[in-house]
Amino acid sequence: MRIISGKFRSRKIYSNFNGSNCHKADFSGYRPTTDRARETLFNVLNNLIDFDEAVCLDLFAGSGAVGFELISRGAGSCDFVENSGKQLECIKKTAAFLNCEENVNIYNENAAAFLKRHHDKYYDIIFADPPYNYEHYNELLMNIRELKFGIFILEHSGESAGMILMNDYEIIHKKTGTTNFTILNSKEN
């Protein structure tokens, strides 16, 4: 996998999924956001927000591909939340390879626990990519609802996510192949 645009364009993203120099493991349900899906997502986001110095959150980060794409496009920082130690090794390795460690905060914990502890922090962009068979969508969305944010993106399969209505947000749906994105965009953006 590679970064598709910005200052790190074409640079490698380390991941257990592609067998690159990190520990190989069986990650059932692990499916990194493909280059094609990321390109589709960022085509939408380019029309919604200026990435310069944005404060971002990549939940269920996996390889961190979306978070590193945000940094590549000018985001000031990204918090990566992932509970797999092996995936976190790859995020650290990519951050070192890109020489952007100062823009990266890595949290080895459950996404729900992280959101409860950081409920008072503002993020310009929150990206969440839980496993498609994730059983706690309602809890995740309730925790997101407690945050203040500019844009929230949920990657999901077609049948796995229902959105809680949030009156202050425009809802955008985008599909590419089997990947679905539901985007909540603050009407203040």
Domain count within the chain: 1
Cβ(174)–Cβ(166) below 8 Å: no
Query: How far is C-alpha 32 from the geometric centre of its chain's CA atoms?
Result: 10
Strands annotated E in the chain = 55-59, 77-81, 104-107, 122-128, 148-156, 169-176, 179-186
Gap between the Cα atoms of 180 and 173, Å rounded: 7
Domain assignment present for 139:
yes
Per-residue pLDDT for 53 more than 80? yes
**Reported pTM:** 0.89
4-43 per-position pLDDT tens digit: 999 999 999 998 764 444 433 334 445 667 778 889 999 9
Boundaries of domain holding 174: 35-186
pLDDT bucket at 165, cuts 50 / 70 / 90:
low
Domain assignment present for 18:
no
- Average pLDDT over the chain, rounded to whole? 86
Domain assignment present for 62:
yes
Cβ(123)–Cβ(51) below 8 Å: no
pLDDT bucket at 159, cuts 50 / 70 / 90:
low
Query: How far is C-alpha 66 from the geometric centre of its chain's CA atoms?
Result: 5
66-111 per-position pLDDT tens digit: 999 999 999 999 999 999 999 999 999 999 999 999 999 999 999 9
**Domain of 155: which CATH number?**
3.40.50.150
Domain assignment present for 133:
yes
Helix and strand totals (H; E) in the chain: 5, 7
Domain assignment present for 5:
no
